[in-house]
Amino acid sequence: MSDLIIKSGNLVNPGGEISGVHDIYVKDGKIIGIDEDTTKLNSPTIIDAEDRIVCPGLVDLSVRFREPGLEKEATIHSESIAAVSSGVTTVCYMPDTQPIIDTPAQIKLVEDIFKGINLCKVKVLASLTKNLDGNRLSSMMELKQAGAIALTNCFNPIKDSLVLRRAMEYASGHEITIFYQPQNDCLANDGCVHEGKISNKLGLPGIPSAAESVAVAEAILLSKLTGVKLHLCRISCQESIMLIKNAHSAGIKVTADVAIHQLFFDENSINNFNGDFHVIPPFRANEDLISIQDAMLNDTIIAVCSDHQPHNEDAKQAPFSNTQHGIASIEILLPLMMDLVDSNIMDINMAISKVTSSPASILGIDAGVIRKGSSADLCIMKKEDWVFDQTKILSSGKNNPFIGKKFSTRVDKTICSGKIVYENK
């Protein structure tokens, strides 16, 4: 592993004490100093970062790389390349693979695959219930001891509130974080778009906002009852934001994130039954979009994730309601965040914090910040106009409604544990 000096980069470091133009010194995968003498370094590689922004490596709270079991859609290798091209150095791996990640052996398998590829780091989320069935609790403490960063049931419903309560009670007693994707399955009723004017116009089955907000209310009240560390995933509507804000006012410690695409589209974006716009939760009304953006600014929602879900071409070719939901978006996570900055929706420090220090704080890991002694997980980006061209997509999944979008920021280099894992050439 080569020693590094990153010269004259403009540090954007919301979770750390040092920002502005500085030199960073890296040895044995660690940041050994900022603006310090180079005598400790052995023939270092010099990276000229003048006129570049240097930020912590991104921490993505939700990815699906499909392996093991679904390699026909994507692999950990292909999607890790896509991840580091967007400055992502740590990913949270969802357990809905085949087989389900609900045993220590499955956690180790995923970790070993990532170690062999050696591009980005992985934090595995294991299944909250056995086989994600929503009924039988998994061996929660055993999974934590095996390395699971948190437990989740993904999209799979837990219909019995008592099961959810017991899961939260156990998790609370053993300091286990629960990632909960709120959706009342009965109210969702197999819908595929937001229940509103567009669902009526297109004749598509709708999912009302209440399907999410009812589940948010239940989860918050049960977290108050049990004291569990609760993280609400992929918030999409105004009512949910109101409930989270009220919980914060009442002293209930709950965190929340939003998928990056929810900050750009509303129900009016669905055009010509394009399956690339089929996502869960669905794109909602314009007032929901505005509320989500406002919730970002006041820290009701503290993190943004890619919610990366690559699919093969056939998965999006069926009639809209029968297509697979999800977007393969990890390789434009950072460019999209910078687009929000360019649009004056938020400043650069807030934008970077939502994908670095804040998700790291949710996970309770030492990441998402540039400081002496921390792992050298860094992203170097530059101002440059470019177009997201389908022919140049690195992910195996081409299911992306942002294809053709113009960006003004791109990643120049990504460094993970002191190793340059991506260079834009």
User: pLDDT tens digit string along 198-254?
Assistant: 999 999 999 999 999 999 999 999 999 999 999 999 999 999 999 999 999 999 999
Examine the fold and report which residue of 363, 397, 413 is the final residue of a domain before the chain moves on.
363
Cβ–Cβ under 8 Å, residues 75 and 65: yes
pLDDT at 126: 98
113 and 180 together in one domain: yes
301 and 222 together in one domain: yes
145 and 48 together in one domain: no
Closest CA to 300 of 241, 355, 251: 241
Closest CA to 2 of 264, 285, 376: 376
| Residue 370 within a domain | no
Count, residues in the chain: 425
Q: Which residue has the tokens 């999607």?
A: 79
d(CA 402, CA 277): 10
d(CA 182, CA 177): 15
| Residue 304 within a domain | yes
Quote the tokens at residue 304. Answer: 């943004």
Quote the tokens at residue 369. Answer: 């910040």
41 and 65 together in one domain: no
137 and 154 together in one domain: yes
Could you check whether the bond before residue 99 is cis, i.e. omega within 30 degrees of 0?
yes
pLDDT at 425: 86
pTM attached to this predicted model? 0.97
127 and 167 together in one domain: yes
d(CA 85, CA 83): 5
Q: Which residue ranges in the chain fall short of pLDDT 70?
A: 1, 38
- The pairing of strands 121-127 and 150-152 is parallel
For residue 370, what are the CA distances in angstroms to 117, 234, 380?
24, 27, 12
211 and 259 together in one domain: yes
Count of H helices and E strands in the chain? Answer: 12, 18
Q: Active-site residues: which are they? A: 307
pLDDT at 175: 97
Examine the fold and report which residue of 342, 363, 384 is the final residue of a domain before the chain moves on.
363
Residue 44, domain CATH: 2.30.40.10
| Residue 46 within a domain | yes
SS3 call for 202: helix
| Cβ count within 10 A of residue 322 | 11
Measured in whole angstroms, the distance separating CA 90 from the mean position of its chain's CA atoms is: 10
34 and 91 together in one domain: no
Q: How many structural domains is the chain composed of?
A: 2
What is the per-residue DSSP string for 156-185? -----HHHHHHHHHHHHHTT-EEEE----H
Residue 339, domain CATH: 3.20.20.140
| Residue 368 within a domain | no
H-run or E-run covering 54: strand 53-56
351 and 384 together in one domain: no
d(CA 243, CA 294): 14
| Residue 369 within a domain | no
d(CA 274, CA 404): 15
- The pairing of strands 378-387 and 53-56 is antiparallel
| Residue 418 within a domain | yes
| Cβ count within 10 A of residue 380 | 25
pLDDT at 209: 98
For residue 85, give its domain range: 57-363
